[in-house]
Amino acid sequence: MGDFILGNAVLVLPDRLMPGAVVVAGGEIAEIRAGTDLPPGALDCCGDFLAPGMIELHTDNLERHTEPRPKVPWPHEAAILAHDAELAGCGITTVFDALRVGSLPSRKKGRYGEYARALADDILGLGMAGVLKIDHRLHLRAEICSETLPEELAKFGAADGVGIVSLMDHTPGQRQFRDLTQLRHYLMGKHGFTEAEFDAHVADRLALSAKVGAAHEAAAVAAARRLGAHLASHDDTTDSDVAQSAAHGARFAEFPTTLEAARACQAAGIAVMMGAPNVIRGGSHSGNVAAETLAVAGCLDILSSDYVPSALLLAALRLGDLWSDLPRGIATVTAAPAAAVGLKDRGRLAPGLRADLLRFRRHGTAALLRGTWVAGQRVA
């Protein structure tokens, strides 16, 4: 954490772009200077953009590293370190690693087991050892339609520093899978379900949801309060979904599936988060509302890389182009996610905040990362 200056940059400030320099001391931003002059001893950014480091609230990327192919487990420490390096290389400086809690150990088809507690221990252990490049925090994805949710949640306590608990209800016929045709294509295409197996799956999940859904949802909300975590909804589809999320105290909504739900979130003071891959692809892979539709309607606040870490910066730039406001686009991956989870020490270029920094330039439709700093230390 040396003291240094990054100069000859285009600074992405909260409300404008400004040629200038950032002075770093003791891991914090000590000063913001305007002007094109290169201060003595400064690193020349050659006119590149300099922005706050990006903040990722929901990513499934770690799961891709812990199971690189179906039913092929990978050692946790190696997976976490690879995930950590990948995010640093994409300009992400703070991540809330999304870990599923709630399993289906007794099902023959669609069975999946518990992993969150063990993986969380390894993430926290590597963080304590000081070997991770970026700031890792925990996000518990509470799977409502499961068999073991309360028991798995009970294994987490205040010492774990859980930052987010999200309510994930994948019961067929509602939310993300309101259209059973989309669910049929997904399960038959990815998991090889037959028609009979699909019908049995739907019936089984509906019965399970009817039995435990209400109790599990209440348990997840209670766990968020016990852990001091921010609560997020997931796949809100209707006004009634949003009203329920608001009643629970949700701070932000992950991937609402309709414009109706996004507008209802806005009216309820719930920030709307959409997936960066949705922005890049021009639509949802599940057939739900396009992120650009919400952006045009003024109903999009936060971006998440979801399953493609490299999509986060590129999608923020595309939103900046759409809005003709680059600082606003960058805010969806910096200031807005920081505000949603109460991180007051990062997310903006301002004196006194952490020196989490991202240097990049644009090349055609791509974004070229030129440097990542976390608390004043270069990590990529």
Instruction: Return the SS3 of 79.
Output: helix
Structure tokens, 230: 């921010």
Quickly name the fold that domain 1-53+347-380 has: Urease, subunit C; domain 1 (2.30.40)
**Which pLDDT band holds residue 334 (cuts at 50, 70, 90)?**
very high
Tokens 């807005």 -> residue: 336
Tell how far CA 220 is from the center of its chain.
Answer: 19
Residue 140's SS3 state is strand
Q: 313-325, pLDDT tens digit by residue? A: 999 999 999 999 9
Burial of 239 per CB tally in 10 Å (0-12, 13-18, 19+): middle
Could you say which of 3.40.50.1820, 3.30.450.30, 1.10.760.10, 3.20.20.140 is the CATH number of the domain covering 54-345?
3.20.20.140
Residue 187 pLDDT level (bands cut at 50, 70, 90): low
Torsion sign (Cα): 312, 317, 318, 320: positive
Say if CB 279 and CB 291 are below 8 A apart: yes
Which tens digits make up the pLDDT trace of 263-280? 999 999 999 999 999 999
- 159 pLDDT more than 80: yes
pLDDT tens-digit map of 69-92: 988 999 999 999 999 999 999 999
- Mean pLDDT estimate for the chain: 93
Length of the chain: 380
Average pLDDT over residues 223-228: 98
SS3 category, 98:
strand
What kind and span of H or E run contains 211?
helix 195-227
The predicted structure's pLDDT at residue 204:
82
Look-up: residue for tokens 């939103």? 319
| Residue 190 pLDDT exceeds 70 | no
Could you tell me which residues are beta bridge partners of residue 191?
none
In the prediction, which pLDDT does 189 show?
A: 59
| Residues 6 or more apart in contact with residue 109 via CB below 8 angstroms | 193, 197, 200, 201
Pick the closest to residue 41 from 80, 97, 94, 2 (CA basis).
2
| Pairing mode of beta strands 252-254, 271-275 | parallel
Q: What is the mean pLDDT of residues 172-192?
A: 66
All CATH 3.20.20.140 domain ranges in the chain, comma separated: 54-345
H-helix or E-strand containing 143? strand 135-143
Residue ranges, comma separated, of all CATH 2.30.40.10 domains in the chain are 1-53+347-380
Could you tell me if 171 and 205 are in contact, meaning their C-beta atoms sit under 8 angstroms apart? yes
Bridge partners, residue 303, by sequence: 274
Strand, coil or helix: 182: helix
Burial letters 27-57, b for 16+ CB under 10 A, else e? bbbbeebeeeebeeebbebeebbbbbbbbbb
First-to-final CA distance of the chain: 14
